Amino acid sequence: MSSNSIVAIILARGGSKGIPNKNLRLFGDLPLVDWCLNAALKSKKITTVILSSDSKEILERGENLGCEIHHRSPKHAQDTTSSEESMLAVINEHPLAQSADILILVQPTSPLTEAEDFDMALVLFEKEDFDSLATGTLDHSFTWQVDEKGNAEPNYNPKSRPRRQEMENSRKENGAFYITKRQIWEEQKCRLGGKIGFYTMKSFQSIEIDTELDWALLEELILKLGINPQKFNE
């Protein structure tokens, strides 16, 4: 499969209710959207990076960094618009996305994704001939399905509570990025389908920024870890 057909699409809407103007807000001295842009642009396997937004200011960031841009219509930039709808708009409207065999949905809310993550995930994707791939981290938690009345159902047998060592194959999806063959998008209109693979990232990379608390926690974390935004993806 030709690496020339791998296109990363970054969805960065201008409006945000949880954190106003979050994609342009400085995170570690750089606008949030720059983190994933830099990582995708420095990937050795991704040859085209497209930034899709309804915001002129966000698109200017992409142009300044050297990526392709896609002007997203108001129809595909609503609070209720799904990532699938936004991705399909780019796939159907941008010439470089129209010719891609492999498409990567990248989410700016996971700023600690590294260029190496894209490359290693793509190596795995191609080696195992997956149709789609999700990312995430190790997960040793016990989860429960709880209804509105408080009735609960655990994901394990309480009489045989598993030990941590017995949960080494358990993973939690983190939403950092998804790799999908064009055929899956065309047939299923979904980021995941067919033979699905999974790429495991470091635990600290799996904090998504959706609230002010997430922002504060992750910004404190990069300070503690000494992560420099200018050198993170070198």
- Helix (H, G, I), strand (E, B), or coil: what is residue 41? helix
Buried b / exposed e over 185-222, threshold 16 CB at 10 Å, is beeeebbbbbeebebbbeeebbbebeeeeebeebeeeb
- Contact of 72 with 60, CB cutoff 8 Å: no
Q: Is 161 a catalytic residue?
A: yes
How long a stretch of residues is the chain?
234
Angle between the 56-65 and 32-41 helix axes, to the nearest 10 degrees?
A: 30
Give me 178's structure tokens: 């998804």
Distances (CA, A) of 206 to 31, 131, 140, 201: 19, 23, 14, 7
From the candidates 161, 164, 182, 191, give the one annotated as an active-site residue: 161
Active-site positions read: 161
